[in-house]
A = this chain, B = another copy of it.
């Protein structure tokens, strides 16, 4: 750890989708990131294989280099986004040996060579961050490593591969066959031309190994992780599951299991699994990911979000860069509690919101028109207006219940409207005003 540098040198290895997104954000959010950290981040270069082929033109050409080694040696923070085993492994080791902190999204590398890399980091007191390696932008590494560090994890059930969840979800919700769903996933860019890594469960297997190691403080050889992909799943099975109240998900399962001879062991496996429809994981649709954690004291937790994508992965990488940088700024601003942005706090009354208003009105012709006129005169636009089935005692009276949902309106306009409604002779009572979000 190199302490008290005021400007920290950041090197990005890899100029693909995520690499250029990270570089772009480092450059364009430099001032704000500097305020959050208490030190500025200097992007000193982006290492690419072929400078002429570098994809994103808004990374300035003079930052592109093919000399990854020189870049790594000069950096305080090295961000490895090249993928693959070599030269990523060799460059990360070089970075750690030279005392730099390393951020990587390379799950394959970590699953195969994690212990070697973590040992190298520990030896020099450097840190290796990899929030982006599992479940994209969803913070799961940090919660497992830090938030649950005083607890005992019993079990993790994770939907950690977006491609397979997209396919299984299409089969379940649209009745598509495996072949049709896979083709749609390919057409939409959710599956690669050769989808083996995803549908064969290899990608999920690597992520399961990383999650289990963190949760159980135990080295998990990749080959010890049971793996079964979704290729054998048929629409019949999906439909049978549905009839029985289940949905089929590809789950990464990491469990602490009691051993016959006493003590505990760890079981890690990936396979298609029936999940009850009432379980929070059953509601994870499309290419989303979610990790469900059962811990002794914390109980059940779930972390949900997008599992992949350039900006999403870049978000996780940038979070790690800020964490790494903050370690270098001892005595700097409290982590995250600085109020440097100092934005004006807006009176909630002036923020426009949608509203639902319930009215008890006289049940006679012309009422709807009278009510609609009140809204239009107050400048509040109506989205839906419906006569609700009456509840309670008024269903034999000459009273009807109207429920009106508005488009966005300011609180002032809304209050004005409610006043007018209350004063209108056809309105017995304004029975409710609730805001609408989401």
Contact = CB atoms under 8 A, between A and B. Distances in A.
B146 A265 contact: no
Given A139-B147, A150-B25, A214-B336, A255 B351 contact: yes
Interface in A255-303: 255-257, 259, 263-269, 271-276, 279-281, 283, 295-303
Contacts of A340: 217
Given A150-B25, A265-B345, A323-B146, A240 B356 contact: yes
A424 interface: no
Contacts of A331: 122, 125
Given A115-B339, A311-B297, A330-B1, A319 B437 contact: no
Contact of A213 (B125, B226, B339, B386): B339
Contact of A431 (B236, B345, B401, B435): B236
Nearest to A309: B299
Nearest to A403: B240
Contact of A244 (B118, B128, B405): B405
A8 interface: no
A194 interface: no
Interface string A65-108: 00000000000000000000000000000000000000000000
Nearest to A432: B237
Interface stretch (A49-57, A196-204, A246-254): A246-254
A176 interface: no
A316 interface: yes
A21 B297 CA distance: 10
A129 to B, nearest CB: 9
A409 interface: no
> Which bracket fits the contact residues of A?
35 or more
A239 to B, nearest CB: 6
A226 B121 CA distance: 47
Q: From A235, A340, A435, A437, name the one whose CB has the most chain B CB atoms within 10 angstroms.
A: A437
Interface in A210-227: 213-214, 216-221, 224-226
Given A139-B147, A321-B150, A339-B218, A266 B226 contact: no
B434 A233 contact: yes
A254 to B, nearest CB: 10
A314 B148 CA distance: 10
A185 interface: no
Given A146-B323, A273-B434, A337 B244 contact: no
A428 interface: no
A316 B290 CA distance: 20
A99 to B, nearest CB: 12
A376 interface: no
A319 B265 contact: no
A272 to B, nearest CB: 5
Contacts of A1: 330
B149 A322 contact: yes
A220 B309 contact: no
Contacts of A309: 299
Contacts of A312: 297-299
A436 B343 contact: no
B306 A303 contact: no
Interface stretch (A366-374, A387-395, A414-422): A387-395
Interface of A: 1, 21, 25, 29, 33, 35-36, 114-115, 118, 121-122, 125, 127-128, 131, 137-139, 142-151, 157, 213-214, 216-221, 224-226, 232-237, 239-241, 243-244, 246, 248, 251, 253, 255-257, 259, 263-269, 271-276, 279-281, 283, 295-306, 309, 311-312, 314-323, 330-349, 351, 356, 358, 384, 386, 388-389, 391-392, 401, 403, 405, 431-432, 434-438
